[in-house]
Amino acid sequence: MILTKRIKAIVFTGLLAFTAVPVSAQDLLARQVPTDRAMRAVDTLALQNLLEMEMSGAYVSELYEDWNNRYAHKQTAMPDTFTIDLRHFCMPTKSRVITSNFGARWGRAHKGLDIKVYTGDTIRAAFSGKVRMVKYEGAGYGKYIVIRHPNGLETIYGHLSKQLVRENQEVRAGDVIGLGGNTGRSTGSHLHFETRLCGMALNPALMFDFRAQDVTGDTYTYRKRTYARESAAATRARGMIGNGSYTREEVQGTMARTGSRSTSGTKQSAYKPAASQPMYHKVQSGETLYSISRKRGVSVDELCKLNHFSKNIKVKVGQIIRYS
């Protein structure tokens, strides 16, 4: 605004000079032409940005009935199709390890992806937006944050150890919003990450590829008719299988590159990633730290060191333990 006023003042001064000294004024106006062009370009860009912000805000307000801090999600009427802008994103965590997929789990629906993080790990806003909720739910999300974004999505970050934003706060993509943890209904430290449209949970694997630390494209178009099929395909392509950290496609790709042969009887656990890749084990019923060490071929001391455990710890079913 100050720059614009200064430029306009120069133009006004030039016009006054033109009436008094024609030749000098013409020279001044000639020199002013590039400045006028630059000013118009700046004004046009600012106007475009303002219009985009206003239009996106109005568009999102049409998707949701209201703005409040009472509920984490409340499903409203879903459009048959809706395109979500995935540009200008930030991965909520640097972790590439998915420990639980979106979908049916333990007899109930799992509405997000579980990503392995340790207590105290940095959690960031996936997109710019406004914080709608900062709450605690002991029987569910634990300490959690809900952010509504101009692209129509709401993202939820659960089981945090600490929340670093407040309700109604504006955030930018990549801003630190909390720290990873193990609060609420959780069997081990991890990030529960949800992506919702009109309150309906969409499979984050349709939009986010945690293993590649990238989004799946510039946009994702939700289509009611094909969503279920696309969600299943996204889980197969970018989800977790078995107790490992890798998808079937990655295992087969590695075998092809190394010349290994795969048969229907080959166990996925036989796949050994590069030494630099951390691997995790999900605790099953009846397992102990010692049985896990034998199964994974790692000493108990090493397991304790990797996970900051004491040797007498009692592991819980569903707990995620790093073994390499």
Do residues 284 and 320 make contact, with C-beta atoms less than 8 angstroms apart?
A: no
DSSP 54-120: HHHHHHHHHH-S---SS-S----PPPSEEEEE--S---S-S---EEE-SEEETTEEE-SEEEE--TT
Instruction: Give, for all 324 residues of the chain, the pLDDT tens digit.
Output: 554 555 555 555 555 554 554 555 555 545 555 555 555 555 565 555 544 444 444 446 678 888 888 888 888 889 999 999 999 999 999 999 898 898 877 677 888 999 999 999 999 999 999 999 999 999 889 999 999 999 999 999 999 999 999 999 999 999 999 999 999 988 889 999 999 999 999 999 999 999 899 999 999 999 999 999 999 999 999 887 554 444 444 444 433 443 433 333 333 333 334 444 567 777 888 888 888 887 777 888 888 888 888 888 888 887 888 887
To which residue do tokens 């087969």 refer? 252
pTM of the shown model: 0.62
Question: Which domains, ranges and CATH numbers included, belong to the chain?
Answer: 2-63 (no CATH), 81-238 (2.70.70.10), 278-324 (3.10.350.10)
What does the longest C-alpha to C-alpha distance in the chain come to? 97
Coil, strand, or helix at residue 289? Answer: helix
CA distances from 149 to 109, 190, 284 (A): 24, 23, 38
What DSSP string describes 205-268? Answer: GGTEETTTTEESSSEEEEETTTHHHHHHHHHHHHS--TTSSS-HHHHHHHHHHHT----TT--G
> Of how many residues is the chain composed?
324
CB-based contact 68:135 (threshold 8 Å): no
